Chains A and B, each alone.
Chain A
Amino acid sequence: MSSNYLNMLRGQRRRSSGFQITARTLLAILAFVAMAGSAAYWWGVQSQLTDNRIVAVAFTAILVLAPPSLVSFLIPWSPAGMLLQKVNARTWAFPVIIGCALYLLYYAFQLQWAWWAAQPVVAETNLVYQQVLIGMIGFIIIPALLWTPVSSDELVEQVRQAHLVKRYELQTQADIAILRATLLRAQEKALIGFANLTVQEREELAAVMQSLVSGIDRTLKEIGQTVKTVSGVALPFDSILDDNEDIRDVLEYIGDTLVNTSISEAQEAKPEQAALQASQPTRETRRPTPQTDPREAGYYQSRHRTRRLRRDEEDDE
């Protein structure tokens, strides 16, 4: 007993799994046949060139497989393939592929020409070039059109990597531009002289120094992340500067020195004056030398200690 309901469902299965012959399918069949023919042809030629069967087999394999595979890199057959080709064109491998593909095409052309020229009928009818071109298309171009150099997943991954590298380049350029502008501003302030800076300018200078190190640190971290993403190799760039205790101490010291000097002087003045002074640019008139300043004693002590340690290390070496 047959069921209309089940037949309807089975009909869906036939429709969904129906085999459709497309031009691509036909090309695949043709390529398969052409490659089998190519193997037979090149075996005939190579076995005539040498008595060593192993060498003949190896050369046959090379001539059957290598030209289509290399030419397939030169003939992308999808928008993503075109993009990938543009990306790969900048790598060293691409000129090598072009060179090898051209030489293999030349070799295949020459051998086929010589073979067909040796055929009396073809030579008499002047069809050598036509025959050779048919062989080139069948043995190399059609299989090359069918093969894709990389799978879709690899294609997506390679395009993604190229995008990442481009983004990293742009990001680094932007970072460098920002750092350069910030440095110029800091240099301007340095030319004025630290003693003549206003409280706001000192705060800015201290912040610049802090942010410069943080910026370099961030850039290094991003480089490390990009390299890790692209190559899978982890670089030890995680906060090597920002977390460094010595650098942080020095930065904090410079920041405190620059900012607190004026602020403490402003605080020493009367509250109502201090309030007024805070809104106006404040110039420092007189300041003790750094070596005699008790506030900087710790810094100079540590510098002496650092120098002594460095000297000890040099002596050890």
Chain B
Amino acid sequence: MTAMLRSDDPEATLSDQELYEFADLLALRLYQDLGRRCYLLSRQDISELIYPYITDLDRRDRRALSWLVWNLLQEGAEIEYEIDQA
């Protein structure tokens, strides 16, 4: 997963598209590993869990990714809640 984002330039940051795709992959991975428990994670927890995958990224990207993954998981929680209500 991280291979596709690896860059030789340490100062390089990811584009919005790349950030979103990466966050999507990370959210999917967290959901597969933790199931519905992933909805209970705080942004700090998410940062810790995804840290091994984003160590070589820029600090701003790491911060953006934790927020993006958290946001995706919250959207997923809303969708599952609607499924339960239906």
Contact = CB atoms under 8 A, between A and B. Distances in A.
Given A9-B76, A9-B79, A9-B80, A3 B27 contact: yes
Interface string B5-18: 00000000000010
B67 interface: no
Interface residues of A, number: 12
- Scoring A6, A8, A16 by chain B CB atoms within 10 A of each residue's CB, the highest score goes to A6
User: Would you list the 10 A-B pairs with minimal beta carbon distance, nearest first?
Assistant: A5-B28, A5-B27, A9-B79, A3-B24, A13-B83, A17-B86, A9-B76, A1-B20, A5-B24, A4-B24
Tell me the dominant secondary structure on chain B's binding face: helix
Interface of B: 17, 20, 24-25, 27-28, 31, 72, 75-76, 79-80, 82-83, 86
Contacts of A12: 80, 83
Interface string A64-103: 0000000000000000000000000000000000000000
A7 to B, nearest CB: 9
Given A3-B72, A4-B24, A16 B86 contact: yes
A13 B82 contact: yes
Contacts of B17: 1
Interface string A1-42: 101111011101100110000000000000000000000000
Contacts of A17: 83, 86
